Amino acid sequence: MRRAAVFIKEHKQFSFLAFLALLLILMAILAQYIAPFSPYESNLTNAFKPPNEVNWLGTDKLGRDMLSRIIYGLRVSLTASLVLVVVVFVIGTILGTVAGFYGGILDGIIMRISDMMISFPGMVLAIAVAGIAGASVTNAMVALAAVSWTKYARLARSLALKIRHKDYIYAAQLMGTRNLDILRQHLIPNALPTLIVTGAADMGTMILELAGLSFLGFGAQPPLAEWGLMLNEGRAYMFDCPWLMIFPGIAICAVVVVFNLLGDCLRDILDPRQL
């Protein structure tokens, strides 16, 4: 407890942002208990009602409560973004570490595939993949994973190339340690802090990109409560019913800012120059 108190005192900004992130995660998990109404229950007699004492953030074209849909949208956005970050983190880290450690033909193949993926604009390629596979949250995640793993692979490769020439790696090889054990016990653990910081900062980016695909019609489909889709549905009523776009937009901005700042603080904490 004393160590925790000291850490919180020394890293107040990180602790505050971590508390906000944890609060957002709890809201997503407990959405069904927090939301005042069902996000999918239509009531046309209540359509397009502005914010009031019953529907705090108003209602949409089908009379669904906007606050409830935004809360459930948090669950969709956080879950999809977290899964996406974990997938590209694992794939990119493994491929990049193997390429940097072993080199040779394997390195050439992995890096040429990475270069090929990077040569296309990421969002355009994601739209193409999602368009071919079909519009859904799952396909949008697959599309973004296909274009996002390259960043982690190249970063992991550069770290592996730097670490593999350290004295403790040579000592482990002289002692007859298997390459797989060197990767697992020495190389990957030393590369993880930088990769974790990148992953934490990418949470906000993934939320934005998923919302962007949904807004363009390549992600979530009705009646799913998802922020990008809600922006798309409210676009036609932007001037008459501005709350249909304002509140989902605020939700996206707030969550993205929290996770971006959290990633920056985590980078400062894990930066060896701060030790």
Query: Under a CB-based contact definition with an 8 Å cutoff, are residues 218 and 130 in contact?
Result: yes
Amino acid at 260: N
Give yes or no for residue 273 having a pLDDT over 60: no
Predicted local confidence at residue 65, as pLDDT: 94
Predicted local confidence at residue 274, as pLDDT: 45
Query: Rounded distance, CA 10 to CA 91, Å?
Result: 34
Predicted local confidence at residue 169, as pLDDT: 81
Side-chain half-sphere CA neighbours of 76 within 13 A: 28
Describe the chain by its helix, strand, coil percentages, rounded to 5: 75, 0, 25
Banded model confidence at residue 175, pLDDT cuts 50, 70, 90: confident
Looking at the chain, the whole-number percentage of residues with pLDDT higher than 70 is 98
Query: Rounded distance, CA 176 to CA 33, Å?
Result: 56
Domain ranges in the chain are 61-270
Query: Under a CB-based contact definition with an 8 Å cutoff, are residues 205 and 257 in contact?
Result: no
Q: What's the average model confidence in pLDDT over 252-266?
A: 91
Stated pTM of the model: 0.87
Give yes or no for residue 3 having a pLDDT over 80: no
CATH annotation of 61-270: 1.10.3720.10
Query: Under a CB-based contact definition with an 8 Å cutoff, are residues 77 and 69 in contact?
Result: no
Which carries the bigger pLDDT value, residue 55 or residue 181?
Answer: 55
Predicted local confidence at residue 106, as pLDDT: 85
Mean pLDDT, the chain, whole residue set? 87
Task: Say which residues have a Cβ less than 8 Å from residue 230's Cβ, sequence separation at least 6.
Answer: 60, 66, 69, 70, 73, 244, 248
pLDDT in tens, 196-254: 888 888 888 899 999 999 998 888 888 899 999 999 999 989 889 999 999 999 999 99
Predicted local confidence at residue 271, as pLDDT: 62
Predicted local confidence at residue 72, as pLDDT: 95
